[in-house]
Amino acid sequence: MRYWLMKSEPADCSIDDLSRLPDQTVAWYGVRNYQARNFMRDTMREGDEAFFYHSSCAIPGIAGRVRIASPAYPDATQFDAASRFFDPKSDPAQPRWLNVDVRFEEKFVLIPLTELRRHPELATLRVLQPANRLSITPVSPDEWQFILKRLAVPHNDN
DNA sequence: GCCAACGTTGGC
DNA sequence: GCCAACGTTGGC
């Protein structure tokens, strides 16, 4: 069992958007970075857990918890000419880009990036390192437990 | 909107 | 295979 942090722009898909979807599950499409793709392909497993991180927004931070709900499979948007994620160089016989499905587990009271930075226990958290742009990063078991037990507060609205 | 960091592309 | 140019990310 591994732990991850996955970034999403809430304008595209927020934790609330995810929780309102049928089956509360979404394909994590649009990853166009080889390192992030390789994490999905090689290291992620169905059943792994991930923090759902809101990026490029007014208050970036961890907004909830999700579970990996499928193995990696070809990202359909790479073959969709109408999609902003269309990749004309990807060969359908050998798809370049993959995605996993992600299922909603829990919404938190937002844990802002500035709050995460305050804790020495999280000094090595990947998303806090300077200029980290990877949309999928591993979280160590210690970091996971610290965030979940010390910082996360369930946010129960409808 | 700025800008630093960094990944990707493509000419050579 | 080098490396400059360019595009993207994402916090501020």
For the entire predicted model, the pTM comes to 0.94
Per CA to C1' distance, which residue is closest to B8?
A33
pLDDT in tens, A63-97: 999 999 999 999 999 999 888 899 988 988 899 99
pLDDT in tens, A7-25: 999 999 999 999 999 999 9
User: What's the CA–C1' distance between A136 and C9, in Å?
Assistant: 13
d(CA A44, CA A136): 10
The answer to whether the C-beta of A34 is closer than 7 A to strand B is yes
The answer to whether the C-beta of A86 is closer than 7 A to strand B is no
Residue range A3-151 forms a domain whose CATH class is alpha beta
**Three-state DSSP state, A106:** strand
Dihedral sign of CA atoms A129, A152, A114, A24 in order: positive
